[in-house]
Homo-oligomer: A and B are copies of this chain.
Amino acid sequence: MAARGLMIQDIQGESTRMVGLAGDTSMLSEEAILRHECVERVMRVSEPYKLAGRRFHPQDTVVEATEAARIGGGHFAVMAGPCSVESEEQILSIARDVKHSGAHFLRGGAFKPRSSPYAFQGLGLDGLEMMKIAREKTGLPIVTEIMSQEYCEIFARDVDVIQVGARNMQNFPLLREVGALGKPVLLKRGLSCSIDELLQAADYVLVGGKSPVILCERGIRTFETATRNTLDLSAVPVLKKKSHLPVVIDPSHGTGHWDLVYPMALAAVAAGADGLIIEVHNQPERALCDGQQSITPFLFDRLMRKIGQLRTVLAENL
């Protein structure tokens, strides 16, 4: 250890001996030490991530897709749109609606990760083309999920914010590749991933040195079944403390019920989130995917107005 430039210090208790290591321990694996028979436990004092951490990057990162679509460091942004793109008409209609209500990004799924191979898997590249048309007509930058490295080139060219979904949060080769594309990455927290693991996954993207990262909490898996997932809203202030990256909340996947989206979106704003990603569908009862958690453009409009009021009051002096 001394050979690695680490300072070693020793504390001798009655029944236990404690050894402290100080210096750059980021390259040291806890396992490497645990192997030794005399070692009972290894406790890491410093964080296991670096680039995503606030320690060496105290100021907030602002991620900018267009001038009107910035997020972080005081810029609040809403990404809205259908779970999956179903037709040019559908995506256009929704895009116009959400733009009118003040959304900053158009979200929509072209490639859909589904638990069952028999479920609708998205329109693929055709869906992406439809999103591009919607972007052209509305000016909204587009956010869509990448599921495989093979589409990296296309996404780098055509997409404004590349989403890495919860199921791929620890697909490390994919993280590395999107990290080299130079486009903002919306990184969703895995269903059973800790906050520290999310930040380590962000480091996988950030080591590429090219793509900024937006973190997204979208619900974790717990024993509770009244909601589809358990939206961990405390992750907002925790992430803001640990990291300089913008934090976005997904109340649609986080709850799984359209009538919980409105209150939880407001709660996310009050907790200090930098943005929201919300499923909006013009005909939720006919959506090919996740209709039960989509809100209508009408409700979205009301939500956006209430968010505006809320943000004003949150910024006010006491």
Which A residues are closer than 8 A to B by beta carbons?
Answer: 7, 9-16, 18, 20, 22-24, 26-27, 29, 31-32, 34-37, 41, 43, 45-46, 48-50, 55, 113-120, 147-150, 167-168, 170-174, 176, 190-192, 194-197, 200-201, 203-204, 207, 220-227, 230-238, 241, 254-255, 259-260, 263-264, 266-272, 284-292, 302, 305-306, 309-310, 312-314, 316, 318
Contacts and interface: CB of A to CB of B under 8 A. Distances in A.
Contact of A22 (B11, B46, B220): B11
B266 A270 contact: yes
Given A31-B291, A35-B286, A149-B148, A233 B267 contact: yes
Contacts of A114: 172
26 contacts: A13-B45, A14-B22, A15-B46, A18-B22, A29-B289, A31-B290, A35-B285, A37-B285, A50-B118, A113-B170, A117-B200, A117-B204, A148-B174, A149-B149, A168-B171, A191-B192, A192-B223, A227-B238, A234-B260, A234-B264, A237-B263, A263-B270, A264-B271, A270-B270, A309-B313, A310-B310
B147 A173 contact: yes
Closest 8 CB pairs of A and B: A192-B192, A35-B291, A13-B22, A11-B20, A34-B292, A270-B270, A35-B285, A267-B271
Given A9-B10, A148-B174, A222-B232, 17 more contacts: A9-B9, A11-B20, A29-B289, A113-B170, A116-B200, A117-B203, A117-B207, A167-B171, A192-B221, A220-B230, A226-B235, A230-B230, A231-B233, A264-B271, A270-B310, A305-B318, A309-B313
Contact of A234 (B12, B50, B149, B254): B254
Nearest to A268: B267
A263 B292 contact: no
A302 B318 contact: yes
A213 to B, nearest CB: 13
A49 B116 CA distance: 7
Contacts of A43: 43, 45
A12 B21 CA distance: 9
Contact of A292 (B31, B55, B222): B31
A196 B226 CA distance: 8
A12 B50 CA distance: 20
Contact of A167 (B48, B170, B267, B305): B170
A172 to B, nearest CB: 6
Given A12-B22, A118-B26, A147-B173, A35 B310 contact: no
Contacts of A224: 194-195, 220, 232
Contacts of A174: 148
Contacts of A148: 149, 173-174
Contacts of A113: 170, 172
Contacts of A192: 190-192, 220-221, 223
Contacts of A37: 285
